[in-house]
Structure 1
Amino acid sequence: MTDAGLAISVSLSVVLVLAGTACLGAESDWLNARDCGASGSKFESPATTTAGSNRVAVKEIGDFKVGQGVMVSRCNIHYTEAQLWGPKTKRVAPRPIKGELEFRGYDGSKGSWTVYVLDVAPAAQPAFRWTDDLGRTWSANVPIDKEWHKLSGGLEVRFGDLDWPSGYVVTFGARDQLVSRIEKVEGNVLTLKDAANRSATDAVVRHCDDAALQDAVDRAIKEKRHLFVPPGCYRLARGVTVQDPAGIIVEGANAVDTVLDITEGNGSCISLKGGTEVTLRNLRFVGHSGFDTRDQMGSMRTQGAVSVWGFYFKLCNAVHISGTERVLVENCHATRMSMEAFYSQGPGRWKGREPKSYSKAITYLRCSAVDCARNAFNNNDFAENTSVLYCRIVDVGGCSWEGASRFVRFIGNYVRNAGTVAMGN
């Protein structure tokens, strides 16, 4: 071999070694969500629960393992998001109920997740009407007194002291879902961290991956790595928060087979809070409220308070951005979201004041919002330089775009059977 040939050979070997090292380095930059306990499994099993016991008998054990999160239906009666709206004469934020209303007795017969709205119109002799289907039907007016009043599903309510003649709205959810973790597997019996409070022969046990995904995101941020989410259906009871990221990528294997499913949950599938840079790529998001619920998730015609929207009480969306400086959401697809599928609400420049951190560039590229109750894309803030590029918006009950943020581009998008592109709203 000539000196020139030897030099080329040595150089090529060095290049190959360096390339291999680079590939290994790149691989080590990624964390796999499965390594943090996320199952990605759609397996579910009928089950039997006993009130006061944390042991659940399942028909099939399937792929359930110790340490995994689970959600169990029909076995845990509890009440959520109990809020008071009003008085009618003031536009104020809702506040938690503190004795103004008592409720008891829900038996689950109206479903695993029922929202009750009690509407008190301003009147010298106040009365209330109520709905358990988010305003599609209302009861007749019932005078307010100190007695227990029967509604539906075994539920009873009793009014406490308040200036009810001024007009108010009371809202709360009644649920039967238990969210827990498997501590032991013995044959076809799962021992959970938490006990059921209701005996049920028609319960269903499903995987619940939100805690494992949250651990994965937190670890990736701490270790300055990216997060890979393998193919699978990752069921969520609550959303996953990406807090103060500094250059993280959260990427699915592909946007067909990598699914974040919040059908049985409440909140944003992924929330970005603060930080400098995030990329979300190749993910599919599934919620619980499609185009056919657009009337229920919209503005409710309540008599006792203003600005009461149905999606407040059964909330789900794909991505919520709050103050992250640079965000790229690419090839991500949302269906059946009750509120804005892709949403930004955070701090911004205003009257010469500039926050320490706010959104300066948000790009949605080749995404979609299909079969959703309300808006597709929405900036409810002064985020700067938002681009919605080559996206698909079909069967959306609200606006295709809504927002008055600065420097917005809406280019190359397909829109059908959806609301307006409301620039400046």
Structure 2
Amino acid sequence: MHDIRLIRDDPAAFDAALARRGLDPRSAEIVALDERRRALQTEIQTAQARRNEASKAIGAAKAKRDEDTAAMLMAEVATLKDRMLAAELEEASLASELRGVLSIVPNLPLADVPQGADEDDNVVEKTVGDPTAFGFDPAEHDAIGPAIGLDFETGVKLSGARFTLVRGAAAKLHRALGQFMLDTLTGIHGYEEVVPPVLVRSDALYGTGQLPKFAEDLFRTTEEHWLIPTAEVSLTNIVAGDILAERELPLRFTALTMCFRSEAGAAGRDTRGFIRQHQFEKAEMVSITTPEQSDAEHERMTQAAEDILNRLVLPFRRMKLCTGDMGFSAARTYDLEVWLPGQQRYREISSCSTCTDFQARRMNARYRPEGEKATRFVHTLNGSGLAVGRTLVAVLENYQQADGSVVVPDVLRRYVGQDVLAPAR
């Protein structure tokens, strides 16, 4: 959500920031709604003041037995009451309309975000590790996976397209990856582990920006409850409606949860294999900070995700997303893309974003600076550390052997209990 005062004070700057995202100007519409709403508020206040004044005058007139004046004032009070009721209803309607408009306008990009239209305009910030070399033609994960337990056919039989049954050695590797990610994020990077609900109310999804604009990308279970698309929703909303003390910040949360996405906007993309599923696990990071901390926290969070890839010895690169490729709530995003030798390309495995105060305004999440009475909105950040399924894919492709077996990365062997996953015969 945007600060209406900033739009009112500098509408040209607001529209210029939207233009960087490839969007049409909205300030004139927003300011016009705001001006009408504020004019009605003034009208209501003026009418209320006159009504109070007239009500006192009625008592004085009656005390003087001036019935004509009292009757005239009573008629005026009745008229003022009707006018106020009508104005209050119109003001409420305008406030709702203004909120509706603001709720679908994305966050504004920070000044250092590169200009661009889509993923082709993203900027490579660094590349870590060389693409894995093989003495044979590397296979893609959907050719390697079935022999160690990625059962695509049964997943489809049970639930339909974009579902996979994971069993045997693949299930053990999947579990090991999730546990390793949590242990790294909590033990080394200082995140507090949380086991959050995966069913949330509509207001939680509104707070992080998925509703109302992206309802078709979600799974709804009841009139009020939805399955989370990411633990970002649950973790960020921990502070919804709260006023925190500055000394409590930053807060850092992590959770390993199931995530559910309808992939409505991804029809025809990655329909085979384990890349784009309706149900998947992800280790999520969320930070709640002061505005002064948020840039450093964004770098810290991204480095935590990079550390997991480094410990797994997976080649990757960091991308700074351009204005046209960022998510709705993001003001700046770094994507980590892991090398997949079977596909001979880099694929996203983590996305780390700072949302500045955009989500905090939607959630009304604030803090009180030390020694001050006034409150300020917190800054929120979120990132993947990492997507478990895509990390499994990366391990299969980068650690595959010519005989179809998969070497277990060193850091996972204590979790898996094996050095090599042999294909079932």
TM-score of the superposed pair, with normalisation by structure 2: 0.23
Which has a greater percent of strand?
1
Q: Which structure is richer in relative contact order (CA contacts within 8 A, separation 6 or more)? A: 2
Which has a greater percent of helix?
2
TM-score of the superposed pair, with normalisation by structure 1: 0.23
